[in-house]
C-alpha cells in the first residue's frame, strides 16, 4: 500500500514522498480509510453471513428460514442489529464491570486486525506483509484473550466454563494449524500471502491442494484446526448451547453480544480466506499463467479487468469454503472436551508434524529432480503437470462425482423429487 501511495504522491501531486511534509498525513488518511473500509466489509460480511447461514441451515432442515425482511429476508441482519442496539445494556452486578466491557473489544480487535494482511485479489490488500501468515496466526490468538476475559468477568459459572474451554481449545489447535501451515510455506518458500498465491496456478491441478499428498492431507488438517479455532461445530464447545447455556457470552446482551456474534461470523471469512490462500490458489485466475502476469507487470500493463476478476475468483473460493463450514456445522454433533483434546494431540499434531517433514523432504527431492523449475507451475502437458492432474482427478473430481451421485440417490431413495430452487 505504501508503494501505491508513494506512486500517487509522485505522479498525481508532483511531490517527492521522501521529502514532502504532508506524506505522513496522506499515509494516516489512507490508513484510516482502509481501516474503515475493511472493518465495514467484515461487519457487512458477518451480517450477511448470519442471514445466509440461517437460510442454508433452514433449507438443510427442510425449513424456509428468515424471508420476511427485505427481498428473501436479506435485510434480516439489519433488523437483528437494530434490535440488539436498542436492547437494554445489562451488566450483572457481580461481574467485573471493566473487564466485562473490555472483552468484546479484544474479540473484535483480534478479528479485525487479520484484515490488514488478508488478500482480496491481485494486489488488493492493505499491506503485503512479508510475515503475513505468521501475523494472521498471532492476531487471531487475541480473540481467545477476549473470550477468556468475558468468561471470567461475567462471574457466571457457565461463562467461566466457556472461557476456559475456549482457551484450552484454541491454544491446543494453534499447534496443528501452525505446523500444517508450514506445508504451503515450504512449497512456496515465503510467509507472504501474495507470494504463496503467486506460487500456485489458476487451474485446480495447480493448487497446492492437489499437488502433493501432503498438501491434500494438510488442507483437511488445517480445515479441522481452523474450525476448532473459530469455535465452529463440531468444536463449538465454548458456546455449547445444550451444555453451557450459551458459554462465554451467556451474560452478554445487546450490542456487546452483537460484537461476539459479529466476530464469530466474520471469522468465517478469515478462516476461509486463509485456506483459500494456502491451498486453493487464492486469486489466481484460470488461464492467466505466471508468465503472462510477469509480462504484464514488466510492461506496467496489468489490465484493469484482472484486478476485478482476480478479486471475484478469490471471493468465490472463499465463499464456497465458508459454505462448507456452514454445511459442516449443520451436520455434525459436538465432540466432548476430552475427545476434542485427543483429536488434537493424538491425531492432528502427529499428522501435521509428519506432513511438515514429508513436505520438506519432497521439496528437497523435487529441487534435486527438476532444479529451479520446481518453483514454477508446470504446464498441463508435461510430466509434472500430468502427475498433478492425475492427483486432482483422484482426489477431487472422482470423490465429487461420487458424492453428488450419492446425494441425489438419497433424494430418490426417500421418494422425493429433486427441486433445486423451489420455494425459497
Partner 1 sequence: MPVSEYVGHIKDTVKSAWEGMSVTLSYMFRRPITVQYAGPELAEQSGDLIQHRLPSRYRGFLEVDTEICTACQACERACPIACIAIQIEKDPASPKQRVMTRFDIDEAKCMYCGLCVEPCPTGAIQHTREFEGAQRFLPNMVLRFVDPAKPVPPYKPPKGATAYPRVMLGEITRALVKKWDSPPPELPLAGVGKAPAKRKPEGDPRAAAMELAKKAIGADAKKLTGVLEEAQAGTDCGACTYPTCREYAEAMASGQEKRLHMCEPGGADSARATHIIMDSHKAGQVVVSPEAEKATYEGPS
Partner 2 sequence: MALEQIVITRKFGPGAEEEMILNMGPQHPSTHGVINFIVHADGEVMKKAVPEVGYLHRSIEKIGELVTFSGFMPYTDRVDYVAAMFANEGYAVAVEKLLGVAPPARAQYLRAISCELNRIASHLVAVGTMAMDIGAVTPFPYALREREYVNDLIEALCGARLTYNYHRIGGVAFDLPPDWAPNCHRFLDHFDRILDEWDRLISLNEIFVRRLAGLAVIPGPMAIDYGLVGPNLRASGVDYDLRKVHPYGAYPDFEFKVPVGKGFAGKNRGGQVGDCYDRFYCRVLEMRESVSIVRQALHKIPEGEWMAKVPRKVKPPGGEAQSRVESARGEMAYYVVSDGGEKAARVRVRTGSFMAMGIIEDLSPGLMIADLVALIASLDVVAPEIDR
Could you list the residues that contact partner 2 (CB under 8 A)?
57, 60-63, 157-158, 161, 233-234, 236, 240-245, 330-339, 410, 413-415
- Measured distance CA(390)–CA(373) in Å, rounded: 20
Question: Which position among 24, 40, 61, 292 is part of the footprint of partner 1 (CB under 8 A)?
Answer: 61
- Measured distance CA(25)–CA(30) in Å, rounded: 8
State yes or no: residue 345 binds partner 1 (CB under 8 A): no
Helix, coil or strand: residue 229: helix
Q: Give the residues across from 124 on adjacent strands.
A: 121
Q: Which of 254, 245, 272, 237 is nearest to 104 (CA)?
A: 254
Choice between 23 and 323, CB closer to partner 1: 323
Is cis: bond before 191, omega within 30 of 0? no
Q: How many residues bind partner 1 (CB under 8 A)?
A: 27
State yes or no: residue 58 binds partner 1 (CB under 8 A): yes
Question: Which position among 327, 360, 385, 386 is part of the footprint of partner 1 (CB under 8 A)?
Answer: 327
- Measured distance CA(115)–CA(136) in Å, rounded: 9
Cα 176 to Cα 74, 114, 224, 226: the distances in Å are 37, 19, 9, 9
**Residue span binding partner 1 (CB under 8 A) among the ranges 53-61, 124-132, 279-287, 354-362:** 53-61
Selection from partner 2, partner 1, none that 71 binds (CB < 5 to 8 A by kind) is: none
- Measured distance CA(225)–CA(212) in Å, rounded: 20
- CB 219 to partner 1: min, Å: 14
State yes or no: residue 370 binds partner 1 (CB under 8 A): no
State yes or no: residue 30 binds partner 1 (CB under 8 A): no
- CB 278 to partner 1: min, Å: 21
Choice between 93 and 422, CB closer to partner 1: 422
Backbone angles phi, psi at 203, to 5 degrees: -80, 155
State yes or no: residue 4 binds partner 1 (CB under 8 A): no
State yes or no: residue 417 binds partner 1 (CB under 8 A): yes
Residue 222, number of CB atoms within 10 A of its CB: 26
Q: Contact at 8 Å (CB) between 183 and 359?
A: yes
Residues of this chain that interact with partner 1 (CB under 8 A) are 56, 58-64, 327-328, 330-332, 347, 403, 406-408, 410-411, 416-420, 422-423
Amino acid at each position: 500500500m505504501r508503494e501505491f501511495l508513494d506512486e500517487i504522491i509522485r505522479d498525481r501531486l508532483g511531490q517527492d514522498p521522501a521529502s514532502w511534509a504532508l506524506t505522513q498525513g496522506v499515509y494516516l488518511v489512507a490508513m484510516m480509510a482502509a481501516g474503515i473500509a475493511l472493518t465495514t466489509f467484515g461487519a457487512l460480511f458477518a451480517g450477511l453471513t448470519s442471514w445466509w447461514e440461517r437460510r442454508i441451515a433452514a433449507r438443510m432442515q427442510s425449513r424456509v428460514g428468515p424471508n420476511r425482511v427485505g427481498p428473501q429476508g436479506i435485510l434480516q441482519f439489519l433488523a437483528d442489529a437494530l434490535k440488539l442496539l436498542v436492547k437494554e445494556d445489562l451488566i450483572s452486578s457481580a461481574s467485573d464491570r471493566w473487564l466485562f466491557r473490555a472483552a468484546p473489544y479484544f474479540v473484535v480487535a483480534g478479528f479485525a486486525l487479520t484484515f490488514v494482511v488478508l488478500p482480496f485479489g491481485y494486489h488488493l490488500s492493505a499491506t503485503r506483509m512479508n510475515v503475513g501468515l505468521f501475523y494472521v496466526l498471532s492476531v487471531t490468538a487475541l480473540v481467545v484473550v477476549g473470550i477468556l476475559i468475558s468468561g471470567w468477568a461475567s462471574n457466571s459459572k457457565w461463562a467461566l466454563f466457556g472461557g476456559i474451554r475456549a482457551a484450552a481449545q484454541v491454544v491446543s489447535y494453534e499447534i496443528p494449524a501452525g505446523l500444517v501451515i508450514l506445508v504451503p510455506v515450504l512449497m512456496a518458500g515465503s510467509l507472504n500471502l501474495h507470494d504463496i498465491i503467486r506460487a500456485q496456478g489458476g487451474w485446480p491441478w495447480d493448487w497446492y491442494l492437489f499437488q502433493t499428498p501432503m498438501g491434500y492431507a494438510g488442507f483437511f488438517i488445517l480445515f479441522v484446526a481452523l474450525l476448532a479455532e473459530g469455535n465452529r461445530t463440531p468444536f463449538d464447545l465454548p458456546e455449547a448451547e445444550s451444555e453451557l447455556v450459551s458459554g462465554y457470552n451467556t451474560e452478554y446482551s445487546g450490542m456487546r453480544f452483537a460484537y461476539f456474534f459479529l466476530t464469530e461470523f466474520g471469522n468465517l471469512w478469515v478462516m476461509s480466506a486463509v485456506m483459500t490462500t494456502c491451498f486453493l490458489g487464492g486469486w489466481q485466475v484460470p488461464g492467466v499463467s505466471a508468465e503472462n502476469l510477469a509480462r504484464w507487470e514488466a510492461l506496467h500493463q496489468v489490465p484493469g479487468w484482472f484486478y476485478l476478476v482476480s478479486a471475484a475468483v478469490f471471493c468465490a473460493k472463499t465463499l464456497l469454503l465458508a459454505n462448507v463450514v456452514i454445511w459442516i456445522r449443520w451436520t455434525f454433533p459436538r465432540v466432548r472436551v476430552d475427545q476434542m483434546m485427543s483429536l488434537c494431540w493424538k491425531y492432528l499434531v502427529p499428522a501435521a508434524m509428519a506432513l511438515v517433514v514429508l513436505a520438506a523432504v519432497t521439496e528437497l527431492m523435487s529441487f534435486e529432480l527438476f532444479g529451479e523449475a520446481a518453483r514454477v507451475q508446470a504446464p498441463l502437458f508435461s510430466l509434472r503437470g500430468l502427475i498433478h492432474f492425475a492427483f486432482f482427478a483422484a482426489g477431487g473430481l472422482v470423490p465429487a462425482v461420487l458424492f453428488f451421485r450419492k446425494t441425489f440417490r438419497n433424494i430418490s431413495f426417500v421418494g422425493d423429487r429433486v427441486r433445486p430452487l423451489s420455494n425459497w
